[in-house]
Structure 1
Amino acid sequence: MTYDTDGAENGGEPESTDSLKAFGEVVKAFRKRAGLTQEQFAPLVRYSLPTVASVEQGRRFPPGPFVERSEDVLDAFGAIKGAAKHLARKPGLAKWFRQWAEFERRAITLYTYECRVVPGLLQTEKYSKALHSEHLPPLSDEQIESQQDARTERQQLLQERPNTTFGFILEEHLFRRGLGGSEATEELLAHLVKLVQRRNITIQIMPLAQGEHAGLHGSLHLLETPDNRWLGYVEGQESGLIFTDLKVVSTLKLRYARMTSQALTAKDSLSLMQRMMRGET
């Protein structure tokens, strides 16, 4: 079976929901109770005025720190934190990706091959901002901030699931491109070098010298569920497909397995990343 998760309309900015609107009304009520305007409230929670306005209007999923700071600043008797528990939207994630993101949260194994950009789970802030700044149609500062928040939250998977096996195969050209400039690339490489020190995270580099390999069909994602089922996911520019059909998933697994033997070993990949950090060819 294939799930077509197409449906993005505005650069990955999720739609409003009743729970978001209700949360916004709670924040607005306590802000007015405190005698604060949005202009006065924004610096107290250390978010921009547009962000505060969007949260109150139910157009923006509130970042975690926003909830905590609003609760403290407005002395809301736990009401804001309570309302936040019932929010029903994945912040900053494109519509077509949200179902896969839910599967990710419960996965016991997660494999990713990427040839376009460094996967969101591995991105640094500078790299992510550089990526979003090139988005077409252009994103507003508020939309970029929302997507940054989403990536930060999603990356908690790497921290919170030490028993989940994470495997990544990344094309060497993703680093050679220098997205965001040399400083952003060096920061990204340093981040990856640190991540692979964890025993449950493996990163392999597919070298430029490897002219032909099993990933030429494009990027792919695989995961194993807690009941040991395997799912596959592939993504286009404005859509994504989740595969449950055993034959299709088996083919994706076969391609990923072949790539693990065609890419550099984890040890050699680490060495290459360290050399690229030092500016060596």
Structure 2
Amino acid sequence: MTADNEGGAGSGGGNGGPELSDSLKTFGAVLKALREEARLTQEEFAPRVRYSPHYVAKIEQGKRFPPRDLVARSEEPLGPVAARVLSAAARSLTRRAGLASWFHQWASIEEEALSLYTYESSVIPGLLQPEPYIRAVFERRLPLLTEEVFERQVAARLARQQLIVERPDTMFSFVIEQALLERHFGGPDTTRALLDHLLEQGRRRNVEIQVMPLRQEDHSGFEGPMRLAETADNRWVGYVEAHDSSALITDPKAVSAMLQRYGKMRSQALSHRATASLLEQMRGAL
């Protein structure tokens, strides 16, 4: 299965399974200690940072990735010194918490890439999945995930998506099959959230989303999903996955062939503007 289906979140066990998130647990423990030092219960602290007690509890247990504004919101109830401590703990967090071990190498490349190209035919790319879609993916994961692993995987994927926001100078290109949108994976509400999210992300100046039509006689993607990344020194590398395994492709000839196929698919898919129009039509038909 692809990283956008499973690997970006980890699988059930063995060498390819998810690594325990020590950094998330440490952050949660620090938050709990600071909250207790301020003599606040979770029920008292939660409304002051504008989150639910249940959500705060999940963060303290290391089961949820803390929101980016949590530190700033904590300064008033916990004090400026505690906020600085919490900020230091937040810097130790990594968006790779909960990622499968075999996915880490590509995750490192993603974080430094100048350009990222993704073609997907089996599932919406992980960087473009809204939370309802992510949860629908992991709810269908076999073997079934425990609640703790499930929440950690969701948090890891949402955190990984911050790449698009944090790297506005990185060009993100996505070619996705129209069949993935027509499938209504997860039901109508999930599909509605997906279409809204794709439209929103597609408005970013560093994101180009193109849909490959259902009928395309000249389709060059028959060899399957793939990813390409331009590194900081302007080299290109490729990446492919299948069923909890992956391969990083660095041979220049092989990468060149992947670039040629991807370039051809971009010319075969709907334009960015035509894709947005199709998404709006599909959204209106729900």
TM bracket (short chain): 0.7 to 0.9
Deviation at 1:74, TM superposition (A): 4.3
Aligned to 1:78, the other structure's residue is in SS state helix
Q: TM-score, normalised by structure 2?
A: 0.79
Q: Which moved more, 1:65-74 or 1:93-102?
A: 65-74
Partner amino acid for 1:26?
Answer: V
Deviation at 1:176, TM superposition (A): 0.8
CA contact (8 A) 1:168 1:204 kept: yes
Q: TM-score, normalised by structure 1?
A: 0.80
CA shift in 2, pair 1:91/1:6, >3 Å:
closer
Residue pairs, 1:199-210, within 5 angstroms: 199-210=205-216
**C-alpha distance in structure 2 between counterparts of 1:112 and 1:152, whole Å:** 18
Q: Give unpaired runs (5+ residues) of structure 1.
A: none
Residue pairs, 1:1-281, within 5 angstroms: 8=10, 10=12, 13-17=18-22, 22-35=26-39, 46=52, 48=54, 51-52=58-59, 54-55=61-62, 62=66, 64=68, 73-75=77-79, 76=82, 78-87=84-93, 90-211=96-217, 213-279=219-285
CA contact (8 A) 1:122 1:192 kept: yes
Taking only aligned residues, the RMSD between alpha carbons, in angstroms, comes to 3.2
Partner amino acid for 1:208?
Answer: L
Deviation at 1:256, TM superposition (A): 0.8
**C-alpha distance in structure 2 between counterparts of 1:32 and 1:158, whole Å:** 35
Q: Which moved more, 1:66-75 or 1:98-107?
A: 66-75
Partner amino acid for 1:104?
Answer: E
Aligned to 2:61, the other structure's residue is in SS state helix
CA contact (8 A) 1:47 1:66 kept: no
Deviation at 1:138, TM superposition (A): 2.0
- Write out per-residue CA displacement over residues 82-121 of structure 1, whole angstroms, 9 at most, x where no aligned residue: 2232345723322222322222222111110000111111
**C-alpha distance in structure 1 between counterparts of 2:184 and 2:245, whole Å:** 26
Higher percent of residues as helix: 2
CA contact (8 A) 2:8 2:99 kept: no
Aligned to 1:278, the other structure's residue is in SS state helix
CA contact (8 A) 1:206 1:262 kept: yes
CA shift in 2, pair 1:131/1:24, >3 Å:
closer
CA shift in 2, pair 1:71/1:47, >3 Å:
farther
Q: Give unpaired runs (5+ residues) of structure 2.
A: 1-6
CA contact (8 A) 1:7 1:239 kept: no
**C-alpha distance in structure 2 between counterparts of 1:69 and 1:209, whole Å:** 50
**C-alpha distance in structure 2 between counterparts of 1:117 and 1:87, whole Å:** 28
Aligned residues: 272
Deviation at 1:134, TM superposition (A): 1.0
